[in-house]
Amino acid sequence: METLALTKEMSNRIVSEIMNVPDAYLVLDAVQKALDEERKRRLKFYNDITEQEKTEFINGTIVVHSPVKMKHNKASLRLAQLINIYVCKHDLGFVGIEKIMITLTRNDYEPDICFFRKDKATMLTADQTLFPAPDLVVEVLSASTESRDRGVKFDDYQAHGIEEYWIIDPENETLEQYHLIGDEYKLILKAPNIDVSSFAIKGFQIPIRAIFDDAENLKAIQKL
């Protein structure tokens, strides 16, 4: 599947192009000034955000999310239930949903679901509001978020070494599973009705239909 992912090769090419122009220092200085201004806006964003809104800071822009469709909410809830029950049962770490803000080097995201292995989870505090890169991120697509979920977020999660990324499509009832191989995500599967096994959550395996169907979800819960 084609993505907008910025690979290491592409990054090296950009660096090479900058180094080939005589005013490279001026270019870098302009970039640094822009990043400094962006950092000020980011700090203001931290001060202004509230628990009532789902907001993200992406490439210098504050993104406020619209309310989601019921099918989006149900898919997210079903999958979160499955992951959380399994993780709690086996004491594997921490599962966050919706309002967990992931803070990467430049951007801040509130993924639909995220998972931190126990070694990271033990470092988190009860009052924490900004979180490091998790081990698994799940985004549930909507019309307003799909381009970011497949574009800038895909790139950023990959660049920051998040081991596994799931993209859930509630309209077509499919799951895409990406696993970080070296520096890049590899598409492991894209399917509506087979089992999926997580790389980040040891031993976690569920039928994809359990994300989209209540009866299948209950069956899967009973088997965990």
Separation of CA 173 from chain center: 19
DSSP letter (8 states) at residue 110: -
Q: Percentage of the chain with pLDDT > 90? A: 70
Is 201 inside a domain boundary? yes
In a domain, 3, yes or no: no
- Give Cβ neighbours of residue 157 (< 8 Å, ≥ 6 apart): 133, 137, 165, 185
- Eight-class DSSP state of 108: E
The CATH number covering residue 140 comes to 3.90.1570.10
- 2 occurs within a structural domain: no
Distance separating alpha carbons of residues 202 and 190, to the nearest angstrom: 20
Cβ contacts of 24 within 8 Å, gap of 6 or more: 18
Q: Which comes out higher in pLDDT, residue 99 or 187?
A: 187
Q: How many domains does the chain have?
A: 1
Rounded average pLDDT over 159-182: 97
Percentage of the chain lying above the pLDDT 70 cut: 96
Mean of pLDDT values over 192-209 = 97
Three-class DSSP category at 123: coil
pLDDT of 24 = 67
pLDDT of residue 8: 67
CA atoms within 13 A on the CB side of 83: 29
Instruction: Name 19's Cβ contacts closer than 8 Å, sequence gap at least 6.
Output: none
Whether 27 is in a domain gets the answer: yes
Q: State the pLDDT at residue 17.
A: 79
Token pair listed for 20: 């080939």
Range of the domain at 199: 8-223
The amino acid present at 60, given as its one-letter code, is G
Look at residue 196 and tell me if it is in a domain. Answer: yes
User: What does pTM read for this prediction?
Assistant: 0.85
Q: Are 117 and 135 in contact (CB under 8 A)?
A: yes
pLDDT per position as a tens digit, 37-65: 888 888 888 888 877 778 999 999 888 88
pLDDT digits (tens, 9 = 90+) for 5-36: 456 677 778 777 777 778 867 777 778 887 87
pLDDT tens sequence across 75-84: 999 999 999 9
pLDDT over 80 at 208, yes or no: yes
pLDDT at 3 over 50: no
Report DSSP letters for 124-168, one per residue.
--TT--EE---SEEEEE--TTTHHHHHTHHHHHHHHTT-SEEEEE
Residue 23, domain member (yes or no): yes
Residue 1 lies in a domain: no
Contact 157, 165 (CB under 8 A): yes
- DSSP codes, 31-76: HHHHHHHHHHHHHHHHHH--TTS-EEEETTEEEEPPPPPHHHHHHH
